[in-house]
Amino acid sequence: MSVFLIAGFFLFVLAMVSAAGYFLLARREASEPETLDMTARIGLEEDGKKGLMDLAVGMFHNLGEMLPASDASRAAMRRRLNFAGYRGPAAITSYFGIKCSSAALLAVLFCALALHTRDDGSMIFAAAVCGLGLGFLVPERILDVLIKSRDQRMRRSLPPALDLMVMSLEAGQALDQALLLASRGLQSFSPDLSQELLGVYLETRASKSRADAIRNMRDRNSEPELRKFCSLLLDADRFGSSLAPTLRKHAKFLRVRFRQRAQEDARKLSVKMVFPVFFLIFPAILVVTLGPAVLIMQKYLKNLWV
């Protein structure tokens, strides 16, 4: 039984490492400055390097294509993958393949654990069901973490992007050129926001209206501050108002709001520290300070009783 347990654990770790490596490799290649294709975030490349990574990705892709899923669930999952930055045509099938692989591997691992502990059939069935459920939930939780991390990165880089756009607009550049220059300036600092601004510029160059390009950027991101920035650009484009003073005020507002949020978190820290101090630090202090006194009192009391 131990051999099956070790083999199942090895396969699970191999699948998870392969999936994580592929996602990280896709994000790094998409963030390179010379990469202009916004739809190849997680796509399977025809002329890529062959190896274990391509084999794992192809396996996940083929497995995801065989998984039956409704159009509504696929649309909702594609929206979440867009929020995480994975927008290739093979993103959703690869994601479903990863979910199936994770569920199968965890089910095998839990069954091996159940067989190793006891031979009860009901226990093995319950372990398999628990493994399947946990395997389906783990990729979703990882995707939530990726979405949250990407939103935080874009929120941090939004004020510098606004400053770059203000300088470009005040220098006499048009909004499209300001977006392009801001994208170039953010390539090393924030590749995610740089790709978003570059996507708006490329869509306008591809004969799409500026309003539609900005709406597309708003729809494919879940960060509230970035969506407010898109609404601000849409209002300025609709009413023809001056954009540079508005962006400068909005950047100042964002910095003030971030400072206030940091001050709020700092004030909450004292309340959050009550529980670890009371349950972890305070007992250790009592043991160190009162422990010798208790031992001495115990010694004297023991002599008195004797």
User: Is residue 28 predicted with pLDDT exceeding 70?
Assistant: no
d(CA 164, CA 158): 10
Positive/negative CA dihedral, 228, 186, 184, 148: negative
What are the tens digits of pLDDT across the range 285-301? Answer: 888 888 888 888 888 88
Residue 100 corresponds to which tokens in the numbers above? 């199936």
Averaged pLDDT score across all residues of the chain: 79
d(CA 256, CA 251): 9
Cβ-count burial 38-47 (b if 16+ within 10 Å, e if not) = bebbbbbeee
Q: Which residue has the higher pLDDT, 60 or 95?
A: 95
Residue bearing tokens 């089910």: 107
Cβ count within 10 A of residue 31: 17
Q: Which residue has the higher pLDDT, 37 or 278?
A: 278
Residue 67's pLDDT band, with cuts at 50, 70 and 90, is low
Q: Answer whether 238's CB lies under 8 Å from 220's CB.
A: no
d(CA 27, CA 21): 10
Residue 88's pLDDT band, with cuts at 50, 70 and 90, is confident
Kindly report the CA angle at 141 between 266 and 136, in degrees rounded to 5? Answer: 165
Residues 6+ apart with CB under 8 A from 103: 131, 132, 133, 134, 135, 136
Cβ count within 10 A of residue 289: 9
Q: Which residue has the higher pLDDT, 304 or 110?
A: 110
Residue 40's pLDDT band, with cuts at 50, 70 and 90, is very low
Residue bearing tokens 């965890």: 106
Q: What is the mean pLDDT of residues 132-149?
A: 88
User: Is residue 58 predicted with pLDDT exceeding 70?
Assistant: no
Which helix (H) or strand (E) covers residue 187, if one does? none
What are the tens digits of pLDDT across the range 224-275? Answer: 999 999 998 898 888 877 888 889 998 999 999 999 989 998 888 888 888 8
d(CA 108, CA 105): 5
Residue 100's pLDDT band, with cuts at 50, 70 and 90, is confident
Residue 148's pLDDT band, with cuts at 50, 70 and 90, is very high
Domain coordinates of the chain in residue numbers?
A: 2-149, 153-269
Q: Burial of 61 by CB count in 10 Å (0-12 exposed, 13-18 middle, 19+ buried)?
A: buried
Residue 158's pLDDT band, with cuts at 50, 70 and 90, is very high
Q: What is the mean pLDDT of residues 76-99?
A: 83
pTM: predicted TM-score of the whole model, two decimal places: 0.69
pLDDT score for 123:
75
